[in-house]
Amino acid sequence: MSALVLGHKNPDTDSIVAAIAYAHVLNGRGIEATAVAQGEVAPETKFVLDKFKLQAPKVVSSVADKQVYLVDYSDLAQAPEDLGKATILGIVDHHKLGDVTTDTPLECWIQPVGCSNTIIKMVADYYKVAIPADIAGAMLCAILSDTVLFKSPTCTQQDKDAAQALAKIAGVSDLEALGMDMFKAKSNLDASPRNLIFRDFKDFDMGGKKIGIGQLELISLSMVSADLKAKLQAELAAVKAEGRHSAVLVLTDIMKEGSELLVASDDEDTIIKALGATKSDCMWLDGVMSRKKQVVPPLQAAFKA
């Protein structure tokens, strides 16, 4: 039986490419594996897959009675609803350790780096599995995306080294030009406010409260009109009303290297204070680029208190 390799709900480029790349590495090790996904690809990911002529993984909603490898997450809130009926064989992740548990031993590769694909490059090197040019190009793009062209505070030397090695395999000489083309695709706002919020959205259990955090990365926040911002705020309130204590949207300006905060919450002041913002019409967070390192940890600490 072929094991399924799948990333989190509302998949981003790292999640989709990690599934493709890790399935390749597993097959190279003699472990039959197939990449799948928990959602359709976002505009940036479509650009990456099209550029390197890769197929998007099949979308699945159930993994009951399957063998699975998780990539780019270990939180139950980001997993299929019936994950408890599956056998988890392994995890590859670069986030905090989540609440996924297993009944049997498993293989884990978890490192504090900027991108899951950086870890997959380490695993490929460890097992001496060659990475083809098309997958290498997509992995490179995932690293550029997750580290925001190496500007994110999550970026490490390992990410930079992996990117250079993958670029050589893929025949990419200008990483900045490739990154900017990706970010232009990511900045596509031709979607409903709800789809924009859920383009990269994750739910977390924080002190027993369900907190949803979305991030929308754009080349410039000047692209967000006052009308669109108002619609995003209204839709965020609707998202919060779907059983969440809070819903947060982090609007990140890639070039300005900072983010604006939108909040819908039963306890708005706690969130604003935890993230160091000042309550106003424009809650700007200078230097905040990473949800996993600069948004999730302070919120978890605040809601544990």
Please give the CATH number for the structural domain made up of 193-304. Answer: 3.10.310.20
299 contacts: CB under 8 Å, gap ≥ 6: 204, 206, 211, 213, 248, 271, 274, 275
Grouping H, G, I as helix, E, B as strand and the rest as coil, residue 18 is: helix
Residue extent(s) of CATH 3.90.1640.10 domains in the chain: 3-184
Domain 3-184 in CATH 3.40.50.2030? The answer is: no
Which pLDDT does position 65 carry in this prediction?
97
Q: Integer distance in angstroms from the first to the last C-alpha of the chain?
A: 46
pTM over 0.85: yes
* Local confidence pLDDT in tens for the 305 residues of the chain: 899 999 999 999 999 999 999 999 999 999 999 999 999 999 999 999 999 999 999 999 999 999 999 999 999 999 999 999 999 999 999 999 999 999 999 999 999 999 999 999 999 999 999 999 999 999 999 999 999 999 999 999 999 999 999 999 999 999 999 999 999 999 999 999 999 999 999 999 999 999 999 999 999 999 999 999 999 999 999 999 999 999 999 999 999 999 999 999 999 999 999 999 888 778 999 999 999 999 999 999 999 86
Could you tell me the two tokens for 169?
Answer: 């395999």
Which pLDDT does position 282 carry in this prediction?
82
Instruction: State the DSSP string of 282-294.
Output: SEEEET---HHHH
Half-sphere exposure of 213 (CA within 13 A, CB side): 21
CA separation for the pair 136, 101 (Å, rounded): 31
CA separation for the pair 77, 98 (Å, rounded): 9
Which pLDDT does position 280 carry in this prediction?
76
Residue extent(s) of CATH 3.10.310.20 domains in the chain: 193-304
Half-sphere exposure of 39 (CA within 13 A, CB side): 21
Which pLDDT does position 305 carry in this prediction?
63
